[in-house]
Amino acid sequence: MEQKRYNAPELLAPVGDMERLISAVRYGADAVYLAGKSFGMRSAPSNFTNEELEEAVKYCHAQGVKVYVTCNILPHNAELAALPAFLEFCQTIGVDAFIMTDLGVMSMAKKYAPNVAIHISTQAGVVNYETANAFYNMGAERVVLARELSFEEIAEIRAKTPKALEIEAFVHGAMCVSFSGRCLLSNYMTGRDANHGDCAQPCRWDYYLIERTRPDQVFTIEQDQKSTYVFNSRDMCMIEHIPQLIECGISSLKIEGRAKSAYYVACVTNAYRHGIDAVMNGKPLPQWVVDETEKISHRAYSTGFYNGHEPGQTVNSGGYIRGWDVAAVCAGEENGMVRLSQRNRFFRGETVSVLEPGEVPYDLTLSEIYNEDMEPIESAPHATMTVYLKTDRKIKESAFLRVKRG
């Protein structure tokens, strides 16, 4: 692929609070997406108060990073009265765009916050160029495509829509078992509304099969005595396909995970940042960026629908693959030593992988570690305990030290 023919895509990272926002910015995001306390499609993260939202915009803009606010719930009548004030507030503090699904909410945004760009959420289910053009004609500057599209379909949408219309697509993270996140399973089973950001994720639970006329007879769907996770979707990972993502015309590569940890945000953002930069500079994709996606907790990976449709479910488990732990976070330097804040138990003599902002990860052996009294220690067993590391290598503050397990 001749990269000079293509603009570098935006790297869009998820943030659920200020800690995760800072990680996203430090590790290379061009833009972040987040929610206020209302109207967003994820209630699990703490999200942002109005004061925190204003602080977030100031911090991001000072670093040249854009801020997109999710207003993508499907609101009921009683929720609409509070929306104008929130939209006006977002415009006042300089939010760059709203992410929206509902046409009524979109209309209100044009009325109460006309200077804020509108991005159409993946929940709108945009899978063809006519729908994309319709939203553009209604004033949208970007469409977030449904996940159920191939490279070829995306390329056709790009070719048959105005160049001014930006195209965003998910490239990494959890995938919903339902089309574009339109699911009522959580409502039905728990009373928690997925379309208001409160999904209980019952698709991740284990299931048996019961025949209607034999309610007392439970059948396993597998050929052994285990239950099955038949609804459990794999995670998406497109790190090895960055050239194709760029070539088919995607303007913004979106990472899923506003409910994920600051470490997840840092690790995945850093990998895609370096991957995009390498490809745009005409260099091969470094193997280490692919390896980094294995250093986070994740389900079995898939490329989703990009290559047609590969198997999307992981039926043998509802859990995660966890091959690495965060051992510690660098809290700065003190008396010529690196100060660490422990996250998981680690030992003197272990080799850790160090993830620093803007850098290629590297290995480091923990040859000498000390407690707060500067006494040598063999291990760091206590949560968030302060540990001092003696090393000739400078480690940036907020760096993550990871250790391989198993």
What residue has token string 């430090």?
26
- Per the listing, tokens 């719930």 go with 73
Structure tokens at 156: 């056709």
Measure CA 265 to chain center.
7
| pLDDT on residue 1 | 42
Asked whether 359 and 348 are in contact (CB, 8 A), the reply is: no
| Interacting residues of 389 by C-beta distance below 8 A, sequence separation 6+ | 337, 338, 339, 340, 366, 368, 369, 370, 395
Which amino acid belongs to residue 194? A
Domain boundaries, the chain: 3-178+233-302, 324-404
Sign of CA dihedral 32, 35, 39, 44: positive
Length of the chain: 406
The two tokens of residue 292 are 């980094």
Nearest by Cα to 10 from 401, 273, 299: 273
- Euclidean distance between CA atoms 238 and 154, whole angstroms: 15
The span from the CA of 172 to the CA of 174, in Å, is 7
Coil, strand, or helix at residue 203?
helix
154: which 2 tokens? Answer: 């995306």
**Which fold, 3-178+233-302?**
TIM Barrel (3.20.20)
Q: Are 63 and 24 contacting, i.e. CB atoms less than 8 angstroms apart?
A: no
DSSP conformation letters of 356-370: -TTS--EEEE--EEE
- Which one is the CATH code of 324-404: 3.90.180.10, 3.40.50.300, 2.40.30.10, 1.10.10.10? 2.40.30.10
Backbone angles phi, psi at 169, to 5 degrees: -150, 145
Could you say which residues of the chain have pLDDT below 70? Answer: 1-5, 40-45, 176-189, 191, 193-198, 200-205, 207-208, 219-232, 309-319, 406
Report d(CA 199, CA 186) in Å as an integer.
6
Helix axes 50-62, 18-26, angle to 10 degrees: 10
Domain 3-178+233-302 identical in fold to domain 324-404? no
The dihedral formed by the CA atoms of 195, 196, 198 and 199, expressed in degrees to the nearest 10: 0
pLDDT of residue 225: 55
Residues 350 and 365 sit within 8 Å (Cβ to Cβ): yes
Element (H, E) at 155: helix 151-159
